[in-house]
Amino acid sequence: MNIKYLAFGVLAVGVPALVLPLSFSTPAASQQQVVVASSEITAPVANLYAALKKIQAAQGASFTQKEAILAPVISQAFDLPGILRTSVGYKFESFSAADKERLLETFRRFTVARYISSFPADNSPATFKISPKTSAASNKGQMVSTMISDTQINYLMQQTPQGWKISDVLVDGHISQVAIQHGDFRSALGNNDGNVDNLIASLNKKIQQFSSN
């Protein structure tokens, strides 16, 4: 299949994957504790991939039907408010509470639509593999290493009041999609004092494009 996009940025399929080693030097007694903790951390990614398999297998399903499958999983797996705040940058705090809510809902729909467009139902579905172990990352986070077909996709996980959530996606193991998205959002906001309507309009346009593919 041709995966055009993944999560927050452009994904170039066919680029050699950069494999990051995952190593643990803990004793056998504590190793089991690491595995148990890791399963809790990797659960959001596993749930996401299970939903992506469903929409790939949904031959003939409409965009709306796929959205119903994927939207709840996206909301549960990702720290969408945190990702949105980081992607927008300092201008986010200048938005009103109502505008933040409007933007968050549009961003949620945009994220779902991008995934649906990236994983269409076809005869050559992507394959998904998740490492059962995690590695320490910055800001007390954990990194989950996965492969989608021949491309390495790593997930930066952060502990939130609602449990472990995805806070960034690293294509080829190191390209931050939140960082790429930050540049896209700055461009969409323009120079009009960070007018949130500009960004919402840009995201809605992309949602329409993804839903019509």
Residue 112, token pair as written in the block: 């779902």
Count of CB atoms situated within 10 Å of the CB of 55 = 23
pLDDT at 184: 92
pLDDT digits (tens, 9 = 90+) for 1-50: 444 355 444 333 332 222 222 222 333 333 333 333 589 999 999 999 99
What distance lies between CA 79 and its chain's CA centroid? 9
96 vs 92, 93, 136, CA distance in Å? 9, 8, 36
Query: Contact, 84 vs 103, CB < 8 A?
Result: yes
pLDDT digits (tens, 9 = 90+) for 71-89: 999 999 999 999 999 999 9
pLDDT digits (tens, 9 = 90+) for 123-170: 789 999 999 999 998 888 999 999 999 999 999 999 999 999 999 999
For the chain, give every domain's residue range.
5-12+28-184
pLDDT digits (tens, 9 = 90+) for 184-213: 998 888 765 668 999 999 999 999 999 987
| CATH of span 5-12+28-184 | 3.10.450.710
Instruction: Tell me which residue of 17, 42, 33 sits closest to 155, measured CA to CA.
Output: 42
pLDDT at 37: 53
